[in-house]
Amino acid sequence: MPFPVTRMRRLRQTPQLRNLVAETALRVDDLIAPLFVREGIETPQPITSLPGVSQHTVESVVKEARRLVELGVPGLVLFGVPLRKDDVGSGAWDPDGIVQVAARAIREEVGAGLAVMADLCLDEYTDHGHCGPLGPDGQPDNDRTIELYARAALAQAAAGVEMVAPSGMMDGQVGAIRAALDGAGHDGVGIMAYSAKYASSLYGPFREAVDVTIAGGGDRKGYQQDWRNRRESLREVALDIDEGADIVMVKPAGMYLDVIAAVRDRFDVPVAAYQVSGEYAMIRAAGERGWVDGDAVALESVSAIKRAGADMVLTYFAAELAEVLGGRGVLGG
Ligand code: PBG
């Protein structure tokens, strides 16, 4: 050769060498499974746009929690689908609301064997599908909404969740929830804040999963972030940490790796990322058509989220990945 060639390929020659120099290790311990539980059904209902994911009964969600424990998955996040919805979303703080019932049942089954978390929002419980009761402008009334989030947090804490996960993007929601929890002696209950949550088109399958249609063909652009912005996320995260967030989250994940990396770089709290329903559905759909190797893309996508800086990933692939990763703990290319 007329010039010296640096042999980068030396360390790529065998799986063993590749494993030794791997910079990212996806572990079962990094995974959190989102689970849907629906009031008033007798059997689990498959979700068409989320193949492999179901709306659970209380009984089947308990079974799924047991399976997650056996697979070594450390956490789950519950989403509730109530039988009745109203204009304020009262099912969210009803002690007998579906998430509270499910959380208690799971806790009874698995004891301390799993971090049980609950999504904390009102959109699943309101008849208009917005994340809080509406003001005269047809948008959620911020300050009324965060008072209701605080009530929902108390109901979830009383049902035994370790962490509540406010996802409504109301200003001051983390502070209101922290104050309410502390005031009621629940200072041990943590907050995983959906801090940088974008008004994304990737939530479509989720809305089928929780039976939510936003009234009048509306959207959440009046409260969730504009996906053209990155710096705005850093302000959101800083505010949430100031208000008492224990873990901050970026959502969606795969198209927001720059945001995850920026948050990881700037802050010292644990960072979660949510690989949302649309991300899962796209990988699944292309895999079903044989256009990509779905299992391989699933592993690559979640590993990339980890590489960008997430400490933990909420993903509908959690159980499947745990099965793949289980034997070896970690898996690389
Ligand atoms: C709001 C909430 C949403 C998701 C999680 N929490 C939907 C929304 O903001 O419209 C989306 C999750 C997913 O798409 O997987 N309660």
Choose one of 81, 131, 167 to mutate for the ligand 1 pocket test, by most ligand atoms within 8 angstroms of C-beta: 167
* Residue 155 Cα to ligand 1 middle (Å): 20
What's the mean pLDDT in 9-19?
97
- Whether pLDDT at 329 is above 60: no
Of ligand 1's atoms, which has the minimum distance to the CA of residue 197?
Answer: 9
DSSP 8-state secondary structure symbol assigned to residue 6: P
The predicted-structure confidence for 262-276, as pLDDT tens digits, reads as follows 999 999 999 999 999
Is pLDDT at 328 greater than 80 in this prediction? no
pLDDT at 217: 87
pLDDT at 55: 97
User: Which SS3 state, helix, strand or coil, does residue 95 take?
Assistant: coil
Give the pLDDT confidence score for residue 216 in this predicted structure: 86
Tens-digit pLDDT profile for residues 189-239: 999 999 999 999 999 999 999 989 998 889 999 999 999 999 999 999 999
Residue 333 has pLDDT above 60, yes or no: no
Cβ atoms of residues 78 and 32 within 8 Å: no
% of the chain exceeding 90 in pLDDT: 93
The per-residue pLDDT for range 98-125, each reduced to its tens digit, is 999 999 999 999 988 999 999 999 999 9
DSSP, residue by residue, 196-240: EEB--GGGHHHHHHTT---GGG--STTTSBPTT-SHHHHHHHHHH
Q: What is the pLDDT of residues 246-264, one digit of tens each?
A: 999 999 999 999 999 999 9
Pocket test for ligand 1, best of 85, 206, 207 (most atoms within 8 A of CB): 206
Half-sphere exposure of 24 (CA within 13 A, CB side): 18
For residue 206, the CA-to-ligand 1 centroid distance in Å is: 6
> Whats the size of the chain, residue-wise?
333
The pLDDT tens digits for 282-320 are: 999 999 999 999 999 999 999 999 999 999 999 999 999
pLDDT at residue 89 greater than cutoff 70: yes
Contact 187, 179 (CB under 8 A): no
Q: Identify the pLDDT of residue 308.
A: 98
The pLDDT of residue 206 is 94
State the pLDDT at residue 330.
Answer: 52
Query: How far is residue 3's CA from residue 273's CA, in Å, rounded to a whole number?
Result: 44
Please give the backbone phi and psi of residue 187, each rounded to the nearest 5 degrees, phi first.
-70, -10
Q: How far apart are CA 297 and CA 286, in angstroms?
A: 10
* pLDDT in the model for residue 239: 98
How far apart CA 76 and CA 195 sit, in angstroms, is: 18
| Per-residue tokens: 182 | 């502390």
pLDDT in tens, 22-67: 999 999 999 999 999 999 999 999 999 999 999 999 999 999 999 9
Rounded to a whole number, what is the largest CA-CA distance in the chain? Answer: 76
CA of 10 to the centre of ligand 1 (A): 44
DSSP at 232: H
Alpha carbons 243 and 41: distance in angstroms, whole number: 38
Q: In this predicted structure, what is the pLDDT of residue 158? A: 98
**How far is residue 321's CA from residue 333's CA, in Å, rounded to a whole number?**
14
Q: What separation, in Å, do the N-terminal and C-terminal C-alpha atoms of the chain show? A: 30
Helix (H, G, I), strand (E, B) or coil at 70: helix
pLDDT above 60 (res 332):
no
State the DSSP code for 289: T
SS3 201: helix
* Mean pLDDT to the nearest integer, 77-105: 97
Please check the confidence at residue 327 and state whether its pLDDT lies above 80.
Answer: no
| Residue 221: Cβ within 10 Å count | 12
